[in-house]
Amino acid sequence: MALDKDCLFCRIIAGEIPSAKVYEDEYVYAFKDIEPIAPVHYLFVPKDHICCAKKITAENSAAVAKIFEAISKTAEAENIESFRVINNCGEDAGQSVMHLHFHMVAGKKMGWGEQSLG
Ligand code: 5GP
Ligand code: ZN
């Protein structure tokens, strides 16, 4: 797996920084967000370092499919009926960690529209 030693999420995947794991397979690692915005707030990341959604290509996009499979399995395993998946790409969208990640948020009624995005 291609890990970046300066990347926070690569270091979490490598176990150098502790995290509360919720799911893991060959391609995907998922853990609880350290500052949850909802009762359920997990981060799903590819084990291979991809900086952001803008850098998804034909060569690496299988990781994204694996992430959505992992999200589906987690929802099934934890009986989560309704959830939102969020990806922030780039500074204006609020991406703060430059390793592709999908937020899985659940456990509360969520609004829609610009206001709900903060
Ligand atoms: P972004 O803002 O890039 O979309 O999301 C990054 C997320 O990573 C934030 O929700 C933030 O709370 C979370 N985060 C940042 N550092 C850590 C950490 O060290 N451990 C965990 N579990 N989450 C983190
Ligand atoms: Zn990384």
Domain residue spans of the chain: 8-106
**Atom 19 of ligand 1, nearest CA residue:** 34
Alpha-helical regions (H) of the chain: 8-13, 62-77
Averaged confidence pLDDT in the chain: 95
* pTM (two decimals): 0.96
pLDDT band for position 1 (cuts 50, 70, 90): low
Does the Cβ of 87 fall within 6 Å of ligand 1? Answer: no
What does the pLDDT look like over 44-77, one tens digit per residue? 999 999 999 999 999 999 999 999 999 999 999 9
Does the Cβ of 94 fall within 6 Å of ligand 1? Answer: yes
Question: What gap in Å lies between CA 72 and CA 95, rounded to an integer?
Answer: 23
pLDDT band for position 118 (cuts 50, 70, 90): low
Q: How many CB atoms lie within 10 A of CB 47?
A: 19
Question: What gap in Å lies between CA 92 and CA 96, rounded to an integer?
Answer: 10
Over residues 100-105, mean pLDDT: 98
End-to-end CA distance of the chain: 35
Specify the pLDDT at position 114.
74
* Longest pairwise C-alpha distance within the chain: 39
Token pair 């709900």: residue: 116
Does the Cβ of 97 fall within 6 Å of ligand 1? Answer: yes
Which ligand has the minimum distance to the alpha carbon of residue 46? 2
Written as one letter, the residue type at 56 is I
Are 45 and 99 in contact by the 8 Å Cβ rule? The answer is: yes
Task: Please tell me which residue, 118 or 37, carries the higher pLDDT value.
Answer: 37
Question: Which atom in ligand 1 lies closest to the alpha carbon of residue 35?
Answer: 12
Question: What gap in Å lies between CA 71 and CA 56, rounded to an integer?
Answer: 18
Token pair 């034909």: residue: 58
Homologous superfamily in CATH for domain 8-106:
HIT-like (3.30.428.10)
pLDDT band for position 86 (cuts 50, 70, 90): very high
